[in-house]
Amino acid sequence: MDDCQRQDLSAFPAKRVLLVLTLFLFVNYVDRYALSILLEPIKRDLGLSDTQIGLLTGAAFALLYSTLALPVARLAEHRNRMHVLLGAVLIWSVGTALCGVAGSFFGFFMARMLVGTGESGAIPPAHAIVGDAFTIERRGTALAILSFGGALGTALAPLIAGQLEQRFGWRDTFLVLGLLGLPVGLLLLALVKDPRRGLSEGLANTANPPPMIIVVRRLLRRPAFALLIPAMVALGLAEYSLFLWLPSYLVRMFGHSPAQVGTALSLYQGVPLLVGTLLGGLLSDRLVSRDRRWLAWLPSIACAMVAGSAACVFLAHDYQLALLLLILPSTACGLYLAPAYASIQALAGARSRATASAMLTFAVNLLGLGLGPLLVGGTSDLLHARFGDDSLRYAFFLVPVLYGVATLLFLLSARFLLAGIEEADADSRRD
Residues 6+ apart with CB under 8 A from 115: 31, 32, 61, 92, 95, 96, 99
Q: Is residue 203 part of a domain?
A: no
Burial class (CB in 10 A: 0-12, 13-18, 19+), 379: buried
| CA proximity to 340, closest of 410, 399, 238, 408 | 410
Q: Is residue 34 part of a domain?
A: yes
Q: Do the Cβ atoms of 42 and 170 come closer than 8 Å?
A: yes
Q: Is residue 91 part of a domain?
A: yes
| Mean pLDDT of each 10-residue bin along the chain, 431 residues long | 48 85 93 86 88 81 81 83 92 94 92 91 87 80 86 85 90 93 91 80 64 85 93 89 83 84 86 88 86 93 92 89 94 89 84 80 77 82 84 86 94 94 82 62
pLDDT value, residue 5: 44
Give the span between the Cα atoms of 67 and 84, in whole angstroms: 16
Q: Which stretch of DSSP H or E encloses residue 394? A: helix 391-395
pLDDT value, residue 39: 86
| CA proximity to 116, closest of 31, 24, 242 | 31
Give the span between the Cα atoms of 100 and 31, in whole angstroms: 12
Domain range holding 142? Answer: 3-197+210-430
Give the span between the Cα atoms of 145 and 365, in whole angstroms: 22
Q: Is residue 47 part of a domain?
A: yes
Q: Do the Cβ atoms of 191 and 129 come closer than 8 Å?
A: no
Q: Which stretch of DSSP H or E encloses residue 425? A: helix 417-430
Q: Which stretch of DSSP H or E encloses residue 324? A: helix 319-325
3-state helix, strand, coil in the chain (%, to 5): 85, 0, 15
Q: Is residue 205 part of a domain?
A: no
Give the distance from CA 410 to its chain's centroid.
17
3-state secondary structure of 2: coil
Q: Is residue 348 part of a domain?
A: yes
Alpha-helical regions (H) of 12-122: 14-46, 50-54, 60-67, 69-78, 81-99, 105-119
3-state secondary structure of 51: helix
Helix axes 353-363, 212-221, angle to 10 degrees: 70
Give the span between the Cα atoms of 122 and 98, in whole angstroms: 19
Give the span between the Cα atoms of 156 and 164, in whole angstroms: 12
End-to-end CA separation in angstroms for the chain: 17
Give the domain CATH number at 190.
Answer: 1.20.1250.20
How many Cβ atoms are within 10 Å of 422's Cβ, its own excluded?
11
Give the span between the Cα atoms of 270 and 22, in whole angstroms: 16
pLDDT value, residue 173: 94
pLDDT value, residue 284: 86
Give the span between the Cα atoms of 117 and 114, in whole angstroms: 5
Give the distance from CA 64 to its chain's centroid.
15
Q: Is residue 236 part of a domain?
A: yes
Q: Which stretch of DSSP H or E encloses residue 160? A: helix 136-168
Number of domains in the chain: 1
pLDDT value, residue 224: 94
Q: Is residue 202 part of a domain?
A: no
Give φ, ψ of 331 to 5 degrees.
-60, -45
Burial class (CB in 10 A: 0-12, 13-18, 19+), 163: middle
